[in-house]
Structures are given as structure tokens and as C-alpha cells.
Copies of this chain bind each other. A is one copy, B any other.
Amino acid sequence: MDTYDEDVTIREVGLRDGLQSIGRVLATEHKLAWLRAAHAAGLREIEVGSFVPARLLPQLADTAELVAFAKTLPGLTVSVLVPNLKGAERALASGADLMLLPLSVSHAHSLANLRKTPDEVIGEIAAIRAARDAAGSSCLIEVGLSTAFGCTIQGRVEPDEVVRLLRAALAAGAERIGLADTVGYADPRAVQELFERCLAVAGDKLTCGHFHDTRGLGIANVVAAWQAGVRRFDACLAGIGGCPHAPGASGNVATEDLAYLFASMGVPTGLDFAALIALRERVAEWLAGETLHGAVWRAGLPKTMLTAT
């Protein structure tokens, strides 16, 4: 731990990972307000939705409209999730800056989630890369290796398989890679060991850690990945994004908790804590009745940080 002055980027994924796990459909006007306030709070990467069929995820049917608005916010990297070539074509047409392609390392989860084996998804990534290049687009292709630390369906996921698919994703044209603990199975040791192995293969193309807080280790796992050299993390305001296999458990690590963690350690994130907490309050109103998570919003900042700013 000796690189406290290096910037850390937090990508807000609440509008995608968070809202897709909540049954109700949040009105587009609220999503636009969320985007505006998140940008004003200093967030410079936001995943605004998914290009999936609206019949599967009606919560995210307005993704193209959100991309269009997000593109007007200065300095913002606009990220969308894309499950296949058809979705990638919509993403390219929308003008998004980055496509996130999920690649489940768990064979069983891959079949359940995308009805494709991991190796079939690798083929799709290659097709998406070819389409992106043919379109002359600068939209970045990021592959998120999901269930990298284990799977609620298949159980154990072998690190060797993570590395094999990481190599295959890079060969297929991925420009960025993230490792995701989709179901909250990771611990700091597993995070350190897997990120170190994958960083040795992917170098600076491995840029993102995505952690769920299902069993309370989310923040500790972020710290372990940060210690391994990761400088970019996904998070959701209010810790939404619950796992259907763990009723009542937390979802993603909470954006405001990560902002507090890094601020307390003196690591720059560019985030305005008070603005994030104010936005959290609005999100809590919009999602009234849903179970929210996160810790620091209850207690507030320590006196030491209040007097320092």
C-alpha cells in the first residue's frame, strides 16, 4: 500500500446492474435526473443500461435514450452492457463510449444467462470486434469475466479456466478486461491471487474489479484488488443489485461507501461525498420499498473528515 496518490475511477453501474435486479421500472425522467446528479457528483464513468430485448428486461428498455442524454454530459464515459452481436449493433448505433460484454467463466452460469457456452461467447466477442472495426467506431470493447470467483449453480470455478478465457477474450479482440465476483463468493486472498495471475497475462488491459457484497466482504475485496494494482471499480449507489440466490443479501458494493473508503485513505476519486449522499436520498425515494444497502450513509463522515474539508 504505497500508491495512495494514484487516481481511482468508480464506475456507477446502478442504472444497469442495480435496476435490472429490481422488479419495478424506474421512470426515464428519474434515470435522467440520476445521471445528471451522478455526473455532478464527479462520476465520470456510468453504465446507463443494457441493449437486451425489452421483453427480457423492461426495466432497461430506455437505454438508447439514456445514452443520448449521457453523451451530452462533459467528460463522461458512457458504458452499456451488451449480451450479443445484435445488442452490440444497437450500442454502436447509440454512440456509447464503451460496450461491456459479460463472459461467464462458469459453464453452467453461461448457459443459464446467455444460452451459450463460454467458448461460444468468445466467438460472439470476435464478431462484435469485427463489427465495431467495420463500423469505424471508437467504442471500446470491455469483457467482464463474471462468476470468476465461483458460481451459485456450478460451485467452484477454476482459476485456470479464468486465465484461459481471459487469453481467449484478448485474442478475440477485447481491449479491456474486468473480473467480476458476480455472486459474492470472493475473499481478499482469492482476489489478490486471481488478480495477480490475470494481471501477469493481461497487463494494463485488466482494468476493472466488480464486487458484490453478498457476504460482507465487498469492501475488503475492493481493497485487495486495489493492493494488487486495480484502479477502477464498479459500484452501485445504495448497494443495489441483489443476487436472486441470496434473498436479503446486499448487491454491489455501494458507490458512496467506496467514495468514503478511498477518501479516508487519501486516494483521489474526484467524487463529492455530500453530493453522492444527496443523490442516494433521491434514489431511496424513487425506489421506496426496495431494500437498499451501504453503511456510511447512516453514520455520516467521521468528524475528522468533516473538519478537513
A-side residues, CB < 8 A to B, are 1, 4, 150-152, 155-156, 183-185, 187-190, 192, 213-217, 219-220, 222-224, 243, 246-250, 254, 257, 260-261, 264-266, 294-296, 298-300, 302-304, 307
Contact B246 A299 (CB under 8 A): yes
How many copies are assembled? 2
Contact A295 B155 (CB under 8 A): no
The secondary structure that dominates the A interface is loop
Residue in A187, A192, A248, A302 whose Cβ sees the most chain B Cβ within 10 Å: A302
Closest to A185 in B: B302
CB of A298, distance to nearest CB on chain B (Å): 5
Contact B261 A220 (CB under 8 A): yes
Q: Which residues of B contact A152 (CB under 8 A)?
A: 302-303
Contact B187 A150 (CB under 8 A): no
Contact A246 B215 (CB under 8 A): no
Contact A216 B296 (CB under 8 A): yes
Contact B295 A189 (CB under 8 A): no
Closest to A300 in B: B246
Closest to A246 in B: B299
Knowing A155-B304, A304-B156, the reply to whether A217 touches B216 (Cβ < 8 A) is no
